Chains A and B, each alone.
Chain A
């Protein structure tokens, strides 16, 4: 029957239809199983909206954990235009509370964006303002927690710490250099929205923000406060143009303290000129180092054994003729015949010209290069300068002569303190650094410790000990007397550098500096002080900067717990100085014998008896005459 063809074709169509349905099912299976991840992620990003929660910026703490940069919580206003039903009223109320312009607010509230931050009037709101906005209860108006950077010590260490912008981004100093570590990961409140931006009644997801990493510095805040205080005093006393102090641990390169004047308050950096906030003088400023640079020349000559500190002599007539030019000593009439040690003690320029000549251009410049001059130290701060040296190929006898005593080249303070540290620490050149450790923000557990970076051996340990000896001698007997501390071994060198402007030296305008360290036998701290153009004082580093360095070292004794020593050189006294003598041991003596031995001192007795069993201070220390000595009798 002819139906059979029709039925055959109907069954054929039926089979085709099964194939079509299977194709649909397979495609859906593919979409829902194999493409699930991709589509789900894409769809999630389409549906979800995020209200950002700012992460706390990492803290900055000193070497003992004292907080130097922290965060205070503020609130900021965020609107979601798609959720606001009555923009006019919302804008009006918000503008009233924030005392801002209605039209501006209306623009924020009606902007065609998913989330609008009301900037800047809605940033950093205080609690009462936030309360008022919260009380309005409008949909689409959100108050988000934000953190604002706060520097509790305000102007202290400001150049090193730097400052942050309104979005908590680091703009200078450590804040800029370590921005990626300090910046945490922002969190968010995630919610689902419909195609028109309205919030759906589905679960909200809270993603907690992750705070930035805590940076621990090599800085000791107490020492920092001490140097800031010294700079303040120096400014009150001498009204200089600029000033700076750096303290470093010579055995590691750790910067213990660093300050500049003029300085600023990191909390409101906007109130200062860019010159003030940008110039971190210890790394930025370059100038002729003057006599402090003689340490470099001295160490090179000692290492090369071109001079003998104790046996070679030099006769200073007050000037020296180099290749037709006359170079004067700072002391008119000259120092006469001196040993090389005395040349160093007296900071005698013609003597150093002689020392430089024994080295020659190539050797001297090799050492200057090995000490790291002419290149950045690599300290972990932005804005470091390089300084300028003579080109060795173009150097004649005059350039060699002036370089020998620190003129005709320009260096940064941090280059100098690094080089001197190497000269006195056994010859090891370290990269100076300020961040010593990365700490986990919640637990303060150590993430990474920064190890000292040794970059080279410049001179030998033996040479270094001679340099230390010579510089201790400078403080005990020579131009650095004003830095002498009784019972402690202090080494150092003064510097008086003329300032150059437009290629010629300024008259009566000097940078007075002092490089000091202690204890002189095994230095734990090197301090460099430079005061630019002080007024109303003898223009000599030993007068202005050495006492400042002495005060800093005195503070360091307590802060770094430096032990007193009886082995230091005795100070050579002038009539101006108080008389000091070594305290003799009177323990075990009779009362009368002790009184005789201590005739230059006041004595206070305690206890009953006739024999001294204890004395304070104990024997061996230098004590000024007329001081009181306590004796316990039994």
Chain B
């Protein structure tokens, strides 16, 4: 057993983080200059979060995981409280149509991001405790699914479909890994599909997103706008890209290019080569984290490492799939790349916890 943390993973994360910050600069400088007359506005904030995040990551890689395990219920309770609070007008603020933010000073905090983390810790603990009951659906699976469903509903009330999806998929994967019968997941899949249909009926704008994903040119200035602008960035990128800082789509064509669609700018400036590099980084990080999960001797740590690893990976995958037009626009950010303080912090905390698991 190792005495040290996984340095490959640490170094990969630092490299990917620095690359992310460089791309934030390239993608955001035009917008930042236009909005704040300060081209470095976003990159400065993100760098600050990154440095703070690295410290917190090192911190979380050293804390006693058993303490975390003990306090899992409390953490989840706090997250639940925050999710309730953010829904109350006056406390939560609306950004991009979702009441999912606490505005603290100039910064924004998304409680759903923390809830995702809290729920992974809680579920890991629950699964480790109830390992023997997990074959029994009523005794083992149902209670945890009820908890997950409650959080899912709260996040959907904001509404933040993207985060809710990432969270649900992560926890389902975690429960899947714990050994629950395959037939259950098939039923869950059918139920999920029905749920998605229900959600679409409840809010028809989601249908427009799906149609626009199949044929973005059906509504080029409305629901298809983002994906068309994304394709206009990726396509002309070609094999080697337009070169660093040479994106054209960031010049007010792709809205807020430093957030959800930053991968388009990467594709535009670095081409297919850049895409391969980014995918390899995520693949490598995921691979190292799964390896840590496999090597962990403690069941809680094993589940924790897997849950955190899958959370980051599935979020990245969903973002990439949206940006290249494989699935409808869901509003998921790209970990380590998209601008956003709380998102970056949560990713680094997650990494810190996985590194923590890797120690022993």
Q: Which residues of A contact B (CB under 8 A)?
A: 2-3, 5-7, 9-10, 13-14, 17-18, 20-21, 23-25, 27-29, 31-33, 35-36, 38-40, 42-44, 46-47, 192, 194-196, 198, 200, 202
How far, in whole Å, are A14 and B317 apart by their CA atoms in the complex? 13
Chain B interface residues (CB < 8 Å from chain A): 30, 131, 173, 176-179, 231-232, 234-239, 248-249, 251-253, 267, 271-272, 275-276, 279, 282-283, 286-287, 290, 293-294, 302, 306, 310, 313, 317, 320-321, 324-326
Chain A hits for B317, CB < 8 A: 17, 20-21, 24
Q: How far is A387 from B313 in the complex, measured between Cα atoms in Å?
A: 87
Residue of B nearest to A194 (CB): B251
Q: Which residues of B contact A24 (CB under 8 A)?
A: 275, 279, 317, 320-321, 324, 326
Q: Are B235 and A2 in contact (CB under 8 A)?
A: no
Q: Which label, helix, strand, loop or mixed, suits the secondary structure of the A interface?
A: helix
- Determine whether the beta carbon of A10 is less than 8 Å from that of B294: yes
- A10-B290, A13-B176 as given contacts; A39 in contact with B324, CB under 8 Å: no
What residues on B are CB-neighbors of A6 within 8 Å?
177-179, 302
Question: How many pairs of residues, A versus B, come closer than 8 Å at their CB atoms?
Answer: 115
Q: Could you tell me the distance between the alpha carbons of A7 and B252 in the complex, rounded to whole angstroms? A: 47
With both beta carbons as reference points, the residue of chain A lying nearest to B127 in the complex is identified as A6
How many Å lie between the Cα of A399 and that of B326 in the bound state? 85
Contact B248 A200 (CB under 8 A): yes
Once A7-B294, A40-B235, A195-B251 are accepted as A-B contacts, the answer to whether A29 and B178 lie under 8 Å apart by CB is no
- B96 to chain A minimum Cβ distance, whole angstroms, is 19
- Which B residues are in CB contact (< 8 Å) with A47? 248, 253
Residues of chain A within 8 A (CB-CB) of B324 are 24, 27-28, 31
Determine if B275 and A18 form an interchain contact, defined as CB atoms under 8 angstroms apart. Answer: no
- Say whether B325 contacts A9, CB under 8 Å: no
CB distance from B9 to the nearest CB of A (A): 15
Contact of B286 among A17, A33, A42 (CB under 8 A): A17
Nearest CB in chain B to that of A35: its residue: B235
Which of B176, B238, B248 contacts A192 (CB under 8 A)? B248
Apart from A10-B293, A13-B176, A21-B282, list 9 A-B contacts with CB within 8 A.
A5-B179, A6-B177, A13-B173, A13-B310, A14-B290, A20-B321, A32-B267, A40-B236, A192-B248
Given contacts A6-B179, A10-B294, A200-B248, contact A36 B253 (CB under 8 A): no
A27 and chain B: residue at smallest CB distance: B324
Min distance, Cβ B257 to any Cβ of chain A, angstroms: 10
Which B residues are CB-close (under 8 A) to A32? 234-235, 237-239, 267, 271-272, 275
CB distance from A4 to the nearest CB of B (A): 10
Question: Known contacts being A20-B317, A24-B326, is A36 close to B235, with CB within 8 Å?
Answer: yes
Instruction: Known contacts A31-B231, A33-B239; decide if A23 and B179 are in contact (CB<8 Å).
Output: no
- Complex interface: chain A residues within 8 A of B271 (CB): 32
CA distance A416 to B290 in the complex (A): 99
Q: Is the CB of B235 within 8 A of A10?
A: no
Task: State the CA gap A195–B320 with chains docked (Å).
Answer: 24
Smallest distance from the beta carbon of B154 to chain A beta carbons, Å?
26
Known A9-B179, A14-B290; judge A25-B279 contact (CB<8 A): yes
- Min Cβ gap A34→B in Å is 10
Q: How far is the CB of B287 from chain A (nearest CB, A)?
A: 7
Q: Which residues of A contact B310 (CB under 8 A)?
A: 13
Q: Give the complex CA separation of A198 and B248 in angstroms.
A: 12
Chain A residues near B176: list those with CB within 8 A. Answer: 9, 13
Q: Are B232 and A46 in contact (CB under 8 A)?
A: yes
**Residues on A with beta carbons closer than 8 Å to the beta carbon of B302:** 3, 6
| Complex CA–CA separation, A47 to B252 (angstroms) | 11
Q: How far is the CB of A30 from chain B (nearest CB, A)?
A: 9
Q: Which of B177, B275, B320 contacts A13 (CB 8 A)?
A: B177
Given B131, B272, B283, which contacts A28 in the complex, CB threshold below 8 Å?
A: B272
Which A residue's beta carbon lies closest to that of B321?
A24
Query: B231 — which chain A residues lie within 8 A by C-beta?
Result: 31, 35, 39
Q: Judging by beta carbons under 8 Å apart, are B178 and A28 in contact?
A: no
Does B275 contact A28, Cβ atoms closer than 8 Å? Answer: yes
Report yes or no: A196 in contact with B252, Cβ–Cβ below 8 A: yes
Q: Which residues of A contact B248 (CB under 8 A)?
A: 43, 47, 192, 194, 200, 202
Which residues of chain B are near A23, meaning CB under 8 Å? 321, 326
Question: Cβ of A195: which chain B residues have Cβ within 8 Å of it?
Answer: 251-253
A501 to B: closest C-beta gap in Å = 64
The residue of chain A having its C-beta at the shortest distance from the C-beta of B302 within the complex is A6
Q: Which residue of B lies closest to A28 (CB)?
A: B275
Q: Which residue of A lies closest to B240 (CB)?
A: A32
Q: List 15 A-B contacts (CB under 8 A).
A: A10-B293, A13-B177, A13-B310, A23-B321, A24-B320, A25-B276, A31-B235, A32-B234, A32-B275, A33-B239, A38-B235, A40-B235, A194-B30, A195-B251, A196-B252
A27-B251 contact given A32-B237, A42-B232, CB 8 Å threshold: no
- A17 partner residues in chain B, CB cutoff 8 A: 283, 286, 313, 317
Minimum C-beta distance from A325 to chain B (A): 79
Cα-based distance from A24 to B327 in the complex (angstroms): 10
CA distance A31 to B235 in the complex (A): 5
Q: In the complex the two chains form, is A29's CB within 8 Å of B272's CB?
A: yes
A46 vs B320: C-alpha distance when bound (angstroms): 24
Known: A27-B326, A31-B234. A194 touches B279 (CB 8 A): no
In angstroms, Cα B112 to Cα A208, docked, is 58
Whole-angstrom CA separation of A31 from B272 in the bound complex: 10
What residues of A have a CB within 8 angstroms of the CB of B234 in the complex? 28, 31-32, 39
Which residues from chain B contact A31 at a C-beta distance below 8 Å? 231, 234-235, 324-325
Closest Cβ of chain B to A433, distance in Å, is 50
On whether the beta carbons of B279 and A39 are closer than 8 Å, the reply is no
Name the 9 nearest CB pairs between A and B, nearest first.
A39-B235, A195-B252, A194-B251, A43-B232, A195-B253, A27-B324, A9-B177, A24-B320, A5-B179
Question: Given the interface contacts A6-B179, A32-B271, A47-B248, does A27 sit within 8 Å of B325 by beta carbon?
Answer: yes
B321 contact set on A, CB distance < 8 A: 20, 23-24
- What is the CA–CA distance of A194 and B248 in the complex, to the nearest angstrom? 7
Is the beta-carbon distance between B236 and A43 smaller than 8 angstroms? Answer: yes
CB contacts (< 8 Å) of B290 on chain A: these are 10, 13-14
B325 contact set on A, CB distance < 8 A: 27, 31
- Specify the chain B residue showing the minimal Cβ separation from A195: B252
| Contacting residues, chain B, for A40 (C-beta < 8 A) | 235-236
Interface-centre pick from A20, A24, A200 (highest chain B CB count, 10 A): A24
Chain B nearest CB: distance from A533 CB in Å?
Answer: 67
Once bound together, how far apart are the Cα atoms of A21 and B249, in whole Å?
Answer: 24
B272 CB contacts on chain A under 8 angstroms: 28-29, 32-33
How long is the Cα–Cα vector from A441 to B167 in the complex, in angstroms?
Answer: 70
CB of B320 to closest CB in A, whole Å: 4
| Chain B residues closer than 8 Å to A39, beta-carbon distance | 231-232, 234-236
Q: Which residues of A contact B282 (CB under 8 A)?
A: 21
Contact B238 A18 (CB under 8 A): no
B contact residues around A36 at 8 Å (CB): 235-236, 238
Q: Are A10 and B279 in contact (CB under 8 A)?
A: no
Which residues from B are CB-within-8-Å of A33? 238-239, 272
A33–B236 CA distance with the chains assembled, in angstroms = 9
In the complex, A200→B253 CA distance in Å? 13
**Cα distance A38–B231 when bound, in Å?**
11
Q: Would B283 and A21 count as touching, CB distance under 8 A?
A: yes
CA of A44 to CA of B267, assembled, Å: 17
A10 in complex: contacting residue of B177, B252, B313, CB < 8 Å: B177
- Measured CB to CB, the nearest residue on chain A to B287 is A14
- Smallest CB separation, B197 vs chain A (Å): 23
B131, B237, B283: the one contacting A18 at CB < 8 Å is B283
Question: B236 to A194, Cβ gap below 8 A?
Answer: no
Q: Which residues of B contact A29 (CB under 8 A)?
A: 272
How many Å lie between the Cα of A13 and that of B286 in the bound state? 11
Q: Which residues of A contact B293 (CB under 8 A)?
A: 10
Shortest Cβ distance from residue A190 to the other chain B in the assembled complex, whole angstroms = 14
Q: Name the distance in Å between A6's Cβ and chain B's nearest Cβ.
A: 6
| B30 contacts across to A, CB distance below 8 A | 194
- Min CB distance B236 to A, Å, is 5
Q: Within the assembled complex, what's the spacing in Å between the Cα atoms of A5 and B127?
A: 14
